[in-house]
């Protein structure tokens, strides 16, 4: 079993929106925007204004019909905007109701967002935009089929059979001359429970995205079990369970969960108990760690990332 000594951590409370903007800003770089023609930048500015309006409607409107109609408008405007030459280098930094995360090597960026029918039904949308040398658009729409995929732990999928999540970080590793990206995602799931997801993304020989694969190993556990294609934790609503990457330790760290009512079959009763599990990248796999620390940490001692909750934004009128 892999274990680590208990370490003192600085409290790393990171606001979700600041995290997204920071990742975007440093990944793209101001110099990259120079590739955009002035008229294209002006065009994208105007599209961003419309996108910001509809993005707020998706989150804030009390009318479900307005939310879904706004989502449709948002999707069409975004796809039209991305067709602009070198649009990859336009940051879309006014869009605070969606996630924009970049691969560490700037090979692609992923947009993800969700529209909710009610507190129990959420539909995720997204797109992968590749960073092409000539600035032309290569993108892959992400079609959420979560409810149609029964065995999510062992299923390898394409962008058209995507297990939807709102991504908040991307890692990159190289193994056998191939790049492997690990995505951290938030899934609002249902009225009773929330999920945090780890998803592995790679690209096949044709350049098409592939999600999943035998990348999550439990071979070193006290009771070993077979590898999984993806990994997630599920816990009660507002349970504040954490799943993050510690850059210093080079570990994925997440809360160990237990049922508060001693009903392990009911995931909506799960909450953090003060212990931490994790994964370490070893020879092309994420190797599970049963117990990251040899003693429990008190509140405030462990790093905290909470990308889960959208902030309510003030209403914004659409420009004429």
143 CB-side CA count, 13 A: 9
Distances (CA, A) of 209 to 38, 114, 162, 205: 32, 21, 10, 10
Residue 162's pLDDT band, with cuts at 50, 70 and 90, is very high
Rounded CA separation 185/67 (Å): 22
> 262 lies in which domain range?
14-306
Rounded CA separation 20/184 (Å): 12
Rounded CA separation 127/82 (Å): 10
Q: Does residue 4 lie in a domain region?
A: no
Strands lying side by side in the sheet with 216-218: 225-228, 216-218, 285-289, 270-282, 251-259, 243-246
Radius of gyration over every alpha carbon of the chain, rounded to an integer in angstroms: 20
Dig out the tokens for 222 from the structure: 């006290």
Q: Does residue 320 lie in a domain region?
A: no
Rounded CA separation 261/201 (Å): 36
Residue carrying the six token digits 């914004």: 316
pLDDT at residue 35, rounded to an integer: 83
Q: Does residue 273 lie in a domain region?
A: yes
Q: Does residue 9 lie in a domain region?
A: no
Residue 320 pLDDT greater than 80, yes or no: no
Lowest mean per-residue pLDDT among 81-90, 214-223, 289-298: 289-298
Planar angle of CA 25, 285, 257, nearest 5 degrees: 80
- Alpha carbon 301 to its chain centroid, in Å, reads 24
Phi first, then psi, for residue 152 (nearest 5°) are: -65, -30
What total number of domains does the chain contain? 1
Residue range 188-244, pLDDT digits in tens: 999 999 999 999 999 999 999 999 999 999 999 989 999 999 999 999 998 999 999
Q: Does residue 258 lie in a domain region?
A: yes
Q: Does residue 312 lie in a domain region?
A: no
What is the DSSP secondary structure assignment for residue 12, as one 8-state letter?
-
pTM of the model: 0.82
Mean pLDDT, the chain, as a whole number?
Answer: 87
Helical spans, DSSP H, in the chain: 16-28, 38-60, 64-82
Q: Does residue 113 lie in a domain region?
A: yes
pLDDT at residue 307, rounded to an integer: 45
pLDDT at residue 153, rounded to an integer: 95
Q: Does residue 213 lie in a domain region?
A: yes
């Amino acid at each position: 079993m892999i274990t680590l000594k208990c370490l003192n951590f600085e409290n790393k409370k990171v606001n979700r929106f600041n995290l997204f903007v920071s990742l975007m800003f440093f990944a793209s770089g101001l110099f990259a925007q120079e590739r955009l023609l002035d008229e294209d930048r002006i065009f994208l500015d105007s599209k961003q204004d419309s996108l910001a309006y509809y993005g707020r409607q998706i989150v804030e409107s009390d009318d479900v019909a307005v939310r879904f109609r706004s989502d449709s408008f948002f999707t069409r405007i975004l796809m039209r905007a991305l067709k602009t030459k070198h649009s990859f280098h336009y940051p879309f930094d006014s869009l605070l109701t969606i996630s924009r995360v970049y691969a560490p090597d700037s090979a692609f960026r992923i947009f993800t967002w969700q529209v909710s029918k009610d507190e129990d039904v959420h539909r995720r949308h997204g797109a992968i935009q590749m960073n092409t040398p000539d600035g032309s658009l290569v993108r892959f729409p992400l079609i959420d089929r979560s409810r149609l995929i029964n065995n999510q732990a062992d299923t390898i999928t394409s962008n058209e059979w995507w297990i939807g999540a709102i991504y908040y970080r991307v890692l990159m590793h190289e193994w056998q001359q191939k790049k492997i990206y690990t995505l951290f995602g938030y899934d609002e799931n249902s009225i009773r429970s929330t999920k945090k997801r780890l998803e592995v993304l790679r690209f096949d020989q044709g350049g098409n995205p592939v999600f999943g694969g035998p990348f999550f190993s439990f071979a070193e556990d006290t009771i070993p079990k077979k590898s999984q294609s993806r990994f997630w934790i599920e816990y009660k609503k507002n349970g504040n369970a954490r799943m993050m990457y510690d850059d210093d330790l080079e570990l994925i760290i997440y809360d160990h969960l237990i049922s508060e009512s001693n009903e392990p079959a009911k995931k909506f009763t799960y909450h953090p108990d003060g212990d931490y599990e994790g994964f370490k990248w070893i020879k092309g796999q994420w190797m599970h760690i049963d117990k990251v620390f040899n003693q429990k940490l008190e509140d405030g001692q462990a790093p905290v990332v909470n990308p889960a909750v959208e902030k309510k934004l003030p209403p914004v009128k659409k420009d004429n």
